[in-house]
Structure 1
Amino acid sequence: MEMHQGYSHFHRIKQDDAPQILNLFVEIQKGSVNKYEYNKEVGILELDRVLEGPTVYPTNYCDVPSTWNSGDNDPLDAVLFSSGEPLMPGILAKGRVIGMMEMLDGGEVDHKIICVNAKDARYDHVTHVDQLAPYERKDLATFMEIYKFAIKGPGAVKIGEFLGPEKAYELIKESMAEYEKKFGTSTKN
């Protein structure tokens, strides 16, 4: 499904502070069992499915507007660590990039950019993915490995390494260039 430029926030929200700070569109809030997908035709979130078993999203799950990942033919995905209340789906949040997690989903490259909430002072000291608590990285990797189990079967998702911000910056720049090539529009104001 091609993104309709008239409705889609992916074309209107730019990335002026990238690759260090990203504008993120929150799709799924931390703690949710509901998986939402952005309906590009009408410009709203819709319920894709309810996760099975005791699985919940360990972080806020976001899309990165004005980026393109040819591996899964969608904008880049990001996870956003934030303290306090989970962020509401459909809002714009600023994420400070601290790294990325390598991931293959059904053989397609689907790496996750890892951010902390740029407006959350409790994460001000975190500048590298290695500074997250070990359980935070483990919860994220385990969740990503098992949440598609019911629809794709065991082993469909493969987790690679957690990499620092410099590698994430490279991926972000590449995906912004892919976006500009695919849609013929700038990723910055």
Structure 2
Amino acid sequence: MNNDQITEFLKVAGHLFRPNPWHGVNVWDDKDKSVLNAYIEITPSDRVKYEIDKATGYLKIDRPQKFSNIIPALYGLIPRTYSAEKSAEYTMKQTGRDGLFGDADPIDVCVLTDKNIDHADILVNCIPIGGFRMLDGGEVDDKIVAVLKDDATYGHMTDITDCPEAILNQLKHYFLTYKEIPQTDKKAKVEITGLYGREEALKIIELGIEDYNDKYTAEYFSKL
């Protein structure tokens, strides 16, 4: 099956069954290819970290939040993306480092909004404006930053340079500290090596799509 046939197959299947948000939802909105579909796993009001169960597409509890760190934005994944060889090669080129590898997960996305959205397991339309280049123990773990489409406060932003520094610092602080255990010598091996704008965010997403197609499209859909 080619990509158009796969898209049509997923569309038909979606009318019959609940699609897996990772595999069964298009990356880009059907009506506007500049608008990203994002599946939200956790919200700023959650005291438990949820994540998608890859096999079923349902949310599962990953772990309770043991400490005071709370995600300062809607947080989830970009459908039909994956972090593997192409994502790692690009990051090694950008950082000058060797031995990096993709984290074998969908690409993560933080969605900024002024709305008090306290319900996860939802799809939102958003506009990517940039991202953080993050490494977690040698794994490539980029965090795309997006704004909720038509949001009253953030909706006008088109690039990371439009975003207030205080917001970016909150996001950065969360990702650098959420795995740390207080009063111990154990430090999480998480680092943010750079901040990038919209054009590079689109590049990261495109590489994630290519890694996904290499991993899943050829493996599964070629059998249909």
TM-score, structure 2 normalization: 0.74
| Deviation, structure 1 residue 87 | 4.6
* Higher Cα radius of gyration: 2
Residue type matched to 1:135 in 2? A
Is 1:94–1:119's contact at 8 Å kept on the other side of the alignment?
no
Q: Aligned pair 1:12/2:45, yes or no?
A: no
**2:58 — aligned with what?**
44
> Using a 3 Å threshold, how does the CA distance of structure 1 residues 147 and 11 change in structure 2: closer, same or farther?
same
**2:38 — aligned with what?**
24
**1:129 — aligned with what?**
160
Q: Answer 1 or 2: higher relative contact order, Cα 8 Å, separation at least 6.
A: 1
| Deviation, structure 1 residue 163 | 0.6
| Deviation, structure 1 residue 150 | 3.1
- Looking at structure 2, the residues matched to 16 and 161 of structure 1 have their Cα atoms a distance apart, in angstroms, of 25
CA RMSD of aligned residues (A): 2.4
> Using a 3 Å threshold, how does the CA distance of structure 1 residues 30 and 113 change in structure 2: closer, same or farther?
same
| Deviation, structure 1 residue 65 | 0.5
Show CA shifts across 1:108-147 (max 9, x none): 1101010000131322321111221111010100100110
2:196 to 163, 176, 179: 163
**1:72 — aligned with what?**
103
**1:97 — aligned with what?**
128
Is 1:28–1:60's contact at 8 Å kept on the other side of the alignment?
yes
Structure 2: unaligned runs, 5 residues or longer: 1-12, 85-101
- Looking at structure 2, the residues matched to 160 and 51 of structure 1 have their Cα atoms a distance apart, in angstroms, of 25
> Using a 3 Å threshold, how does the CA distance of structure 1 residues 155 and 47 change in structure 2: closer, same or farther?
closer
**1:183 — aligned with what?**
216
**2:148 — aligned with what?**
117
Percentage of pairs with the same residue: 30
Is 2:127–2:149's contact at 8 Å kept on the other side of the alignment?
yes
Residue type matched to 2:200 in 1? K
Stretch of structure 1 that moved more, 129-138 or 145-154:
145-154
> Using a 3 Å threshold, how does the CA distance of structure 1 residues 62 and 145 change in structure 2: closer, same or farther?
same
Is 1:19–1:172's contact at 8 Å kept on the other side of the alignment?
no
- Looking at structure 1, the residues matched to 141 and 111 of structure 2 have their Cα atoms a distance apart, in angstroms, of 16
Is 2:46–2:118's contact at 8 Å kept on the other side of the alignment?
no
- Looking at structure 2, the residues matched to 40 and 31 of structure 1 have their Cα atoms a distance apart, in angstroms, of 23
- Looking at structure 2, the residues matched to 102 and 16 of structure 1 have their Cα atoms a distance apart, in angstroms, of 22
Structure 1: unaligned runs, 5 residues or longer: none
| Deviation, structure 1 residue 164 | 0.4
* More helix as a share of residues: 2
Is 1:20–1:169's contact at 8 Å kept on the other side of the alignment?
no
- Looking at structure 1, the residues matched to 180 and 169 of structure 2 have their Cα atoms a distance apart, in angstroms, of 17
Show CA shifts across 1:75-112 (max 9, x none): 10000001121252100001100001110011111010
SS of residue matched to 2:117: coil
SS of residue matched to 2:205: helix
- Looking at structure 1, the residues matched to 164 and 28 of structure 2 have their Cα atoms a distance apart, in angstroms, of 30
1:59 to 67, 70, 73: 73
**1:143 — aligned with what?**
174
Is 1:35–1:48's contact at 8 Å kept on the other side of the alignment?
yes
* More strand as a share of residues: 1
Residue type matched to 2:51 in 1? E
Is 1:149–1:156's contact at 8 Å kept on the other side of the alignment?
no
